[in-house]
Amino acid sequence: MADLLYNREHMPDTLNVLFLAAEAEPFVKVGGLADVAGSLPLALRALSNPDRPGVKIDVRLVLPLHRVLRAESATLRPVVEFPVYRRGRSLPARVFEMSMAGMPVYFISGEPISTATTVYSQDPAQDREKFAFFSLAALEMARRMEWQPDIIHANDWHTALALYALRSQRGDPQMKRVRSVLTLHNLPFMGGDGMDVLAAYGLVPPIDDALPGWARTQPLALGLWSADEVVAVSPTYAREILTPDFGCGLDGFLGSRSACVTGILNGLDVAAWNPETDACLKGKFSAVTLSQRSANKTALQHQLGLKEDLHIPILAMIGRIDQQKGLDIVPNVLRQLTDLPWQFVLLGSGDPIIENVMRDLQLEFPEHIRAVIRFDAGLSRLIYGGADMLLMPSRYEPCGLAQMIAMRYGCVPVVRATGGLKDTVAEGKTGFLFQAAQPAAMQEALRRALVVYASPVNWENFQRNGMAEDFSWTRSAVQYAELYRSLTAGE
């Protein structure tokens, strides 16, 4: 791989990548996209080190200057100002810059961005305006900078229109060499019908029968149509989106582009998620000091008001309460497992109907079940570090972070074999998998897990195997670097 990556004869010494995202840690976080956009660019830059001669990937991050940004505005330096045209009226876009660990980060401001009080609005039309403006301004910024990108890397629907506009600028000598990558974190979120916004910003829907009519005004679909390469966040999800079950109506179109669709697993911030240093844990531990983990289990049982008994396995779920996560099949699974000892804790919030089902389940099993309906980062860490199993019966899971965190914390995942879950959890080695999103299939996998749990030596093998997995961002960064190189080879 190194030769392919770092062949200097045919490759430029430095690849410039402009990375566009709606959110990124540590500036602003709503969901998993912020983890990716905060970590991957830095991991790519870190590839340029003395151990990897010849490589230099100069990635720079671009974000909207959301009103809720955590960055201190005093540290922002104004860089450039230019107009973005909307229905013939010029809207000023201002670009500011700051540095994060040596990486330039650009923030774009302008009326459609500053009028929004939250990162994502309840009003889809407002979001389309905001992100269309942001995407077009980011592209215009790239045209005006001295530093010229070789690649524009967009993420999800919010920034997909930058790639669509780029494609329409291929006649422009300055832009014609720029290649594009779109990372797909969640296919169902396409941005909605953007006919109005396309018209407002002077973009015309494509005439291409490969793309279904309804999709020709959806920002994400336009990005998928335009990108030189589409990256799904796991190899299995990259295959799944080509099928009717997961393709959200775009499976046929994506199939026609399948040579340009690939999968690269997300990484995990292994410094932020480290059971040896995690301040939220009662007992810090590593694979060699696994016995110290039990202090967390006792603390968790105590905090939740459950019976403090190290022999009772704690089954846990942490995540958004949503149809996607398959939580609705859990009550029947637990009802069928009453012949065995277990405790169950759910930490999450979301769909009010499913939240109430889980509250009712706690009332049905007051001795065994706790439904903690809130977002609580500290409690999540104690659960990862103290519970025995993490359940993820997801209907679909593009990548999934929770199962990777769980493995790193010695909490064994019991997951549905889909998307990134299938790619990260190894049956019979680091966890337990089941196929159908049905109570019977999940119950069968849980029973298998509970049998192994009853034998501490075997269980510890699962825990240690999971803890030994490498989920660092470097692995993903090397694959993205290889992809960038292949897209620009021959330029």
What residues make contact with ligand ADP under the rule CB under 6 A? 31-32, 318-320, 347-349, 375-377, 380, 400-402, 405
Residue closer to ligand ADP (CB basis): 147 or 375? 375
Contacts 24+ apart (CB under 8 A), 208-212: 210/253, 210/256, 210/257, 211/253, 212/249, 212/250, 212/252, 212/253
User: From the CB of 325, what's the least distance to ligand ADP, in Å?
Assistant: 7
User: From the CB of 401, what's the least distance to ligand ADP, in Å?
Assistant: 4
Residue closer to ligand ADP (CB basis): 47 or 415? 415
User: From the CB of 14, what's the least distance to ligand ADP, in Å?
Assistant: 32
Residue closer to ligand ADP (CB basis): 17 or 390? 390
Residue closer to ligand ADP (CB basis): 28 or 84? 28
Residue closer to ligand ADP (CB basis): 239 or 320? 320
Q: How far is CA 415 from CA 325, 360, 445, in A?
A: 11, 24, 8
Residue closer to ligand ADP (CB basis): 32 or 205? 32
Assess contact for 39 and 80: CB atoms under 8 A. Answer: no
**Residue 417 in tokens:** 């074999």
DSSP code for 13: S
Cα 437 → chain centroid: 22
C-alpha closest to that of 315 among 327, 273, 323, 199: 327
| Residue of this chain nearest to ligand ADP (CB atom) | 32
Residue closer to ligand ADP (CB basis): 313 or 400? 400
Distance of alpha carbon 65 from alpha carbon 158, whole angstroms: 14
Region class of 249: left (phi > 0), else alpha (psi between -120 and 50), else beta: left
Query: Cα-flanking dihedrals φ and ψ of residue 310, to 5°?
Result: -70, -15
Residue with tokens 């009028």: 115
User: From the CB of 296, what's the least distance to ligand ADP, in Å?
Assistant: 15
- What are the beta bridge partners of residue 105? 61, 98
**Residue 470 in tokens:** 């490498």
Assess contact for 192 and 121: CB atoms under 8 A. Answer: no
The strand pair at 15-20 and 151-155 is best described as parallel
User: From the CB of 9, what's the least distance to ligand ADP, in Å?
Assistant: 40
User: From the CB of 418, what's the least distance to ligand ADP, in Å?
Assistant: 12
User: From the CB of 376, what's the least distance to ligand ADP, in Å?
Assistant: 5
**Residue 353 in tokens:** 């109907």
Distance of alpha carbon 192 from alpha carbon 124, whole angstroms: 7
User: From the CB of 441, what's the least distance to ligand ADP, in Å?
Assistant: 20
User: From the CB of 273, what's the least distance to ligand ADP, in Å?
Assistant: 8
Strands of 293-358, DSSP E: 314-321, 343-350
Burial of 462 by CB count in 10 Å (0-12 exposed, 13-18 middle, 19+ buried)?
buried
Residue closer to ligand ADP (CB basis): 285 or 409? 409
Residue closer to ligand ADP (CB basis): 389 or 487? 389
